[in-house]
Amino acid sequence: MAVLGAGSWGTTFAKILTDGGADVVLWARRPELAREISEARRNSDYLPGVNLPIGLRATSRLDLALAGAEMVFVSVPSQSLRENLKQVEPYLAENAIIISLMKGVERSTGMRMSSVIEEVLRIDPDRIAAISGPNLALEIAKEQPTGAVVSSSSLETAQAVAKLATNRYFRSYINTDVIGTEFGGVLKNLIAVAIGIVDGVGYGENTKASIITRGLVEMTDFAVAYGAQAETLAGLAGLGDLIATCQSPLSRNNTAGRLLGQGYSINDVVKQMQQTTEGLASVKPVLELARAKGVEMPIVEQVRQVLDGTLNPRDIAPHLTTDSGEPQGERTLDDAQAHGGASLWGAFQRTFDQLRHGRRSAGGPRP
């Protein structure tokens, strides 16, 4: 099988698969990196101090990486997926399964990665899977035990991929909720940026816990509005990843937020980040998608304002934003499920607000 993209996650995932017994070729754009991985068994820029398994081969030639590969795992920056897939297509084995390891949406279209794969390669969605979960690459590369979720519209595909993506330190669960699984990975990045900002400003645990908790509701509302199951967001690809990314200094999204909170401009932050920080590119498309479904996302909205320089990071307090100033009910995930889905409950709440205030409610928080 092939893994495309030899950054932190692609290399780590190639190690996971190799350690699980699979025959893996890792594609790196740069020949010198492919050589380092093959010969020195290292990827020193992305995974310092990690020894890569002996069976793992690397190449900078796409044709060689893809020759006969029945499964192709893709881990390039989300904004480059489309152009990469166009190069991949001529070499793709018939009936190959394509698995996205990425956690972004395409900025120009708002599309999830599996949708971009389906559109560009024109393949049956049953041949596409997405993997997500609390998966900070460096921890896994050091073989610290971790779980993830493999999601595909085909249970058979999810099972086949999960069997291979399992070893003594990595366990793959399965589901068929691709929308929830992918949006979980995208949205937790945005909450992690908010948490980073809060850290950078110097606020403490109460503020962070409030934002994480309300962030999960915000993520669930959004994902359910697009057809996800609320329970997926309460699982590894939602809550699990949210905790890992918000807590860890290894997280690039969290780190980018921390720099913003310390007063650096977005341009300075982008210059300092050596690795892919998906959250920064996802803010605008996610807000556009939210608006299209009438979902309110006060946390992501305030992250946008900090990125745009229109909100002082010290004023970040999205969970305190209130439309009416009146006490709000705390709706939790259980409430969302009991009411038949978060988006339905959100719509009910907005209608109620409109009736009460005799106007369209805009920008305020949900209960």
Ligand X SMILES: O=C(CO)COP(=O)(O)O
Q: Which residues are catalytic?
A: 188
Q: Restricting to residues 229-258, name those near ligand X by CB under 6 A.
A: 241, 244-245, 251-254
137 is in an annotated binding site: yes
Total interface residues for ligand NAI by CB under 6 A: 24
Nearest-Å Rg of the Cα atoms of the chain is 21
Residue 135 lies near ligand X (rule: CB under 6 A): yes
User: Which of 220/277 has CB closer to ligand X?
Assistant: 277
253 is in an annotated binding site: yes
In one-letter notation, the amino acid at residue 188 is K
Cα–Cα distance between 292 and 331 in angstroms, integer?
A: 22
Residue 7 binding: pick among ligand NAI, ligand X, none (C-beta 5-8 Å cut-off by kind): ligand NAI
Shortest separation between residue 319's beta carbon and ligand NAI, angstroms: 25
Task: Using alpha carbons, list the distances in angstroms from residue 281 to 50, 135, 164, 278.
Answer: 29, 20, 31, 6
Q: Using alpha carbons, select from 312, 272, 286 the residue that is nearest to residue 190.
A: 286
Cα–Cα distance between 49 and 92 in angstroms, integer?
A: 33
Q: What is the 3-state secondary structure (H, E, C) of the chain?
A: CEEECCCHHHHHHHHHHHHCCCCCEEECCCHHHHHHHHHHCCCCCCCCCCCCCCCCEEECCHHHHHCCCCEEEECCCHHHHHHHHHHHHHHCCCCCEEEECCCCECCCCCCEHHHHHHHHHCCCHHHEEEEECCCCHHHHHCCCCEEEEEECCCHHHHHHHHHHCCCCCEEEEEECCHHHHHHHHHHHHHHHHHHHHHHHHCCCHHHHHHHHHHHHHHHHHHHHHCCCCHHHHCCHHHHHHHHHHHHCCCCHHHHHHHHHHCCCCHHHHHHHCCCCCHHHHHHHHHHHHHHHHCCCCHHHHHHHHHHHCCCCHHHCCHHHCCCCCCCCCCCCHHHHHHCCCHHHHHHHHHHHHHHHHCCCCCCCCCC
Residue 134 binding: pick among ligand NAI, ligand X, none (C-beta 5-8 Å cut-off by kind): ligand X
Residue 245 lies near ligand NAI (rule: CB under 6 A): no
Binding mask 253-282 for ligand X (x = CB under 6 A): xx-----------------------x----
Total interface residues for ligand X by CB under 6 A: 14
Residue 80 lies near ligand NAI (rule: CB under 6 A): yes
208 is in an annotated binding site: no
User: Which of 189/343 has CB closer to ligand X?
Assistant: 189
Residue 244 binding: pick among ligand NAI, ligand X, none (C-beta 5-8 Å cut-off by kind): ligand X
230 is in an annotated binding site: no
60 is in an annotated binding site: no
5 is in an annotated binding site: yes
Near ligand NAI by CB under 6 A, which window of 116-124, 133-141, 220-228, 335-343?
133-141
Residue 302 lies near ligand X (rule: CB under 6 A): no
User: Which of 76/280 has CB closer to ligand NAI?
Assistant: 76
Q: Restricting to residues 273-292, name those near ligand NAI by CB under 6 A.
A: 275-276, 278
10 is in an annotated binding site: yes
User: Which of 3/97 has CB closer to ligand NAI?
Assistant: 3
Residue 82 binding: pick among ligand X, ligand NAI, none (C-beta 5-8 Å cut-off by kind): none
User: Which of 134/285 has CB closer to ligand X?
Assistant: 134
Shortest separation between residue 7's beta carbon and ligand X, angstroms: 10
The strand pair at 2-4 and 71-74 is best described as: parallel
Residue 5 binding: pick among ligand NAI, ligand X, none (C-beta 5-8 Å cut-off by kind): ligand NAI
The answer to whether 24 touches 54, Cβ cutoff 8 Å, is no
Binding residues for substrate: 103, 252-253
Q: Which residues are annotated as a binding site for NADPH?
A: 8-9, 29-30, 46, 103, 137, 252, 278
Q: Give contact residues for ligand NAI (rule: CB under 6 A).
A: 5-10, 29, 46, 75-78, 80, 84, 101-104, 135-137, 275-276, 278
Q: In the complex, which residues of this chain contact ligand X (CB under 6 A)? A: 103, 134-136, 189, 192, 241, 244-245, 251-254, 278
